[in-house]
Amino acid sequence: MNIRRTTKTRRAMTAVAITTGLVLTVAGCGGGDGDSDEKSEKGASSPATSKGGGGDEEKDGESQAPATDKVLAEVKGEESITLTVSSAVRDEGGFVTVSGKVTNSGGKFWAAANWRGEEREMNKNGSSVAGANLIDNAGKKKYLVLRDTEGRCLCTKFTGGVKPGQTADWYAQFPSPPEGTSKVDFQVGAMPPASIELSEGE
């Protein structure tokens, strides 16, 4: 009887041990799946980083590096100022954003006094590119900088001006020319016109 009880006890213990082992195995598999998920995610991200991600980084690098170095047009004019246009993007909202840099290569402080335009409404936009315009020579139209209801331009204001040897970023937004128009002239103040090509926004 003792032997039978012992045998039954051992069988019961074995069954419990096997059941526990299966539960732990399943749990282990679940954990392994989590680990494998993490590994697969890491694995997926690793190839993506080395292949896809790296490609994206390289693409971003390629798209960003030229964006900073890219020059659509560059003109030199009044008061030893160099105007660079680096981007002219047509957006879905029906406007074009033109941006670039201004470099003061002269020895005097530059306040962009005559870049605000001659319109009375533009008097509130001192030291800005409010007087800039886009000229569609083919369509024979001129587009002025957009402004809000209070007459403030949707453009950069050079607060504090630009010191000698200093470079400042600028932007200005205009109504979008017709879709067929891809080339326009950007002009501001007494600077020569800068011929630029419009690109489509994403």
Q: 139-154 pLDDT, tens per residue?
A: 999 999 999 988 889 9
CATH number at residue 122: 2.60.40.1240
Domain boundary residue, one of 29, 51, 69 = 69
Tally of domains in the chain: 2
For residue 80, the enclosing domain spans 73-200
93 and 150 belong to one structural domain: yes
11 and 106 belong to one structural domain: no
87 and 29 belong to one structural domain: no
Average of per-residue pLDDT across 29-54: 43
Q: DSSP letters of 51-99?
A: IIHHHHHHHHHHHHHHHHH--SEEEEEGGGEEEEEEEEEE-TTSEEEEE
95 and 26 belong to one structural domain: no
Domain boundary residue, one of 69, 95, 118 = 69
105 and 63 belong to one structural domain: no
Q: Which is more confident, 29 or 149? A: 149
Exposure letters 137-175 (e unless 16+ CB within 10 A, then b): eeeeeebbbbbeeeeebebbbbeeebeeeeebebebbbe
**pTM score:** 0.64
39 and 81 belong to one structural domain: no
Listed range (155-159, 177-181, 198-202) with the worst mean pLDDT: 198-202
Alpha-carbon distance of 20 to 26, in angstroms, equals 10
Tokens of 155: 């453009």
Quick one: pLDDT at residue 69? 64
Tokens of 152: 């403030």
Average of per-residue pLDDT across 4-14: 47
Q: 42-92 pLDDT, tens per residue?
A: 444 334 433 344 444 444 433 333 344 689 999 999 889 999 999 999 998
23 and 83 belong to one structural domain: no
